[in-house]
């Protein structure tokens, strides 16, 4: 393992974060704070509690997941797409660096950024609502796995995209709606039985449910299914990236 190469890629990607601090960190935090104000004031005044938890505190895990998922995809997809766009990726591919080291550098940086944003939003949430974390280690584990898995997914999108429009296509049209419909702002037990069954086909439900369990001990689905979903998605993304570098799809041609 070429740790020098991994560190070089990682430092380069993290340096881009500090150059664009307002776009990379401040903007997501402000956007999430607006969700707290709008949903906490408008909906929280009508829904006092959800399963014994105040509505303002109940939506905290969902808002963190929303920001973490979107930022993980955005950071990783742009990180690998831009070298492909300007042609410097060929220098990277010709260097004595394996695909595992390339992925570790780019995905590690993207996951670090998203994890940092998630923790900042968690700290910001304490300014708006009183809340507690029953299982902090489980919370960190779910948060880290989500950052890692969706950074891998974003890496795939960055390789797949042929232009900047395609770079935003899947996050805007597929991922964000799945998060909103995945129980970020409500419990799926509040839905009619038919829609509860349909919602279970949304993979994001399992992520938000497991993450919310680490806060309040509440879950829409069994914790084991949540762990299985996030680990399975991570393995699926790793397999897809291995195939991409093995075949050179959208990289060498």
Q: Is residue 127 part of a domain?
A: yes
Q: Is residue 212 part of a domain?
A: yes
Q: What pLDDT, on the 0 to 100 scale, is given for residue 27?
A: 82
Measured distance CA(44)–CA(42) in Å, rounded:
6
Name which residue leads in pLDDT, 44 or 57: 57
Measured distance CA(198)–CA(182) in Å, rounded:
11
* Position 45 confidence tier, pLDDT thresholds 50, 70, 90: low
Q: What pLDDT, on the 0 to 100 scale, is given for residue 40?
A: 66
Percent of the chain whose predicted confidence (pLDDT) is above 90:
61
Q: What pLDDT, on the 0 to 100 scale, is given for residue 44?
A: 64
Q: Is residue 213 part of a domain?
A: yes
Res. 30: pLDDT tops 90: no
* Position 28 confidence tier, pLDDT thresholds 50, 70, 90: confident
Q: What pLDDT, on the 0 to 100 scale, is given for residue 112?
A: 96
Res. 207: pLDDT tops 70: yes
Q: By mean pLDDT, which of 89-93, 195-199, 225-229 is the weakest?
A: 89-93
Spatial neighbors of 72 by CB under 8 A, at least 6 apart, are: 110, 111, 114, 146, 147, 149, 150, 151, 153, 154
Average pLDDT over residues 117-136: 89
| Percent helix, strand and coil across the chain, each to the nearest 5 | 75, 0, 20
Domain count along the chain: 1
Q: Is residue 64 part of a domain?
A: yes
Alpha helices in 136-222 (DSSP H): 136-160, 164-170, 176-180, 193-199, 203-216
Compute the mean pLDDT over every residue in the chain, rounded to the nearest whole number. 89
Q: Is residue 253 part of a domain?
A: no
pLDDT, one tens digit per residue, over 133-165 is 999 999 999 999 999 999 999 999 999 999 988
Q: Is residue 252 part of a domain?
A: no
Which residue segment(s) compose the domain that 128 sits in? 3-247
């Amino acid at each position: 393992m070429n740790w020098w190469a991994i560190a070089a890629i990682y430092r380069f990607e993290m340096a881009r974060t500090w150059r664009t601090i307002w776009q990379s960190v401040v903007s997501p935090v402000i956007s999430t704070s607006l969700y707290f104000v709008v949903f906490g004031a408008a909906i929280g005044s009508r829904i006092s509690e959800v399963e014994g938890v105040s509505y303002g505190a109940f939506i905290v895990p969902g808002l963190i997941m929303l920001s973490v998922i979107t930022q993980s995809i955005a950071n990783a997809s742009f990180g690998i797409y831009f070298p492909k766009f300007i042609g410097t990726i060929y220098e990277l591919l010709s260097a004595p660096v394996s695909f595992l080291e390339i992925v570790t550098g780019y995905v590690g940086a993207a996951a670090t950024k998203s994890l940092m944003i998630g923790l900042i939003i968690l700290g910001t949430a304490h300014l708006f609502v009183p809340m507690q974390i029953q299982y902090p280690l489980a919370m960190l584990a779910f948060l880290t796995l989500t950052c890692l898995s969706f950074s891998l997914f974003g890496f795939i999108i960055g390789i797949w995209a042929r232009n900047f429009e395609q770079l935003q296509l899947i996050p805007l049209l597929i991922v964000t709606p799945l998060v909103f419909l995945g129980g970020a702002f409500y419990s799926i037990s509040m839905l009619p039985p038919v829609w509860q069954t349909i919602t279970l086909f949304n993979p994001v439900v399992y992520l938000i449910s497991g993450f919310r369990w680490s806060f309040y001990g509440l879950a829409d689905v069994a914790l084991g299914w949540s762990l299985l979903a996030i680990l399975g998605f991570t393995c699926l993304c790793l397999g897809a990236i291995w195939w991409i570098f093995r075949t050179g799809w959208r990289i060498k041609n």
